[in-house]
Amino acid sequence: MVSADRISGIFFLLLGLAMYFVVNPAHIEAVEGGSLNPKTVPDIISLILALCGGLLVLKPTTHQVANLQNILRTAGYSLLLVAGLFAMSRFGFEYVAPLLAFAIMWFIGERRPFWLAFGAVGMPALIWFLVTQALGRALP
């Protein structure tokens, strides 16, 4: 019998292998010098993802999905993240990150004004400062 665990295990096994063999080699540049090869961490994470997916295929849990509403909320959350990443690549971090942060916080149920403001304005500003100013890297 095919369970949700086996289906998700196959998905993560294939995702990890695709990341390791296709995505990482195509999108990670080799650099000279430094103490750590830039592809080391992404390769390790990809292999761990594939290994855990494979283990889930071989030994699924006995948990049953209790509520279809939770699955739909997860799908909505995932679509929100994908749309946000797409918008960020098109319009830039500075414009999309505050809106995406606010939408995610609202989606998960946060309604306190201080935390919404801090999450939507403060955290993207802190990320921008650390990445662009402290590390000297460009954001999308």
pLDDT digits (tens, 9 = 90+) for 85-112: 999 999 999 999 999 999 999 998 999 9
How much is the pLDDT for 30? 82
CA–CA separation, 63 and 116 (whole Å): 34
* pLDDT tens digits along 11-59: 999 999 999 999 999 999 888 877 788 899 999 999 999 999 999 999 9
pTM confidence score: 0.60
How much is the pLDDT for 3? 78
Residue 53's contacts (CB-CB under 8 Å, 6 or more residues apart) are: 8, 9, 10, 11, 12, 13, 14, 15, 16
- Hey, where are the domains in the chain? 1-64, 65-140
Q: What is the mean pLDDT of residues 59-87?
A: 86
